[in-house]
Amino acid sequence: MLIALIHLLATTAMAGLIWFVQVVHYPLFADVPASASTAYAERHQRLTARVVGAPMAVEGVCALWLFFAPPAGVGRLLPFVAGLILAVVLGSTVMLQVPRHGRLARTSTAHEISEVVTSLVTTNWVRTIGWSTRAVLAAVMVAQVAQ
Q: Could you report the per-residue pLDDT of 31-66, keeping only the tens digit for each?
A: 888 888 888 888 988 899 899 999 999 999 999 999
**Residue 35 contacts residue 107 (beta carbons within 8 Å):** no
CA atoms within 13 A on the CB side of 60: 10
**Residue 29 contacts residue 105 (beta carbons within 8 Å):** no
Judged by DSSP in three states, 113 sits in helix
For helices 125-146 and 77-92, give the axis angle rounded to 10 degrees.
160
Handedness of CA 25, 29, 33, 38 (dihedral sign): positive
What is the per-residue pLDDT across 71-118, written as a single tens digit (0 to 9) for each?
989 999 999 999 999 999 999 999 999 999 999 888 878 888 889 999
pTM of the full structure: 0.90
Domain hosting 82: range is: 2-146
pLDDT of residue 13 exceeding 80:
yes
The tally of domains found in the chain comes to: 1
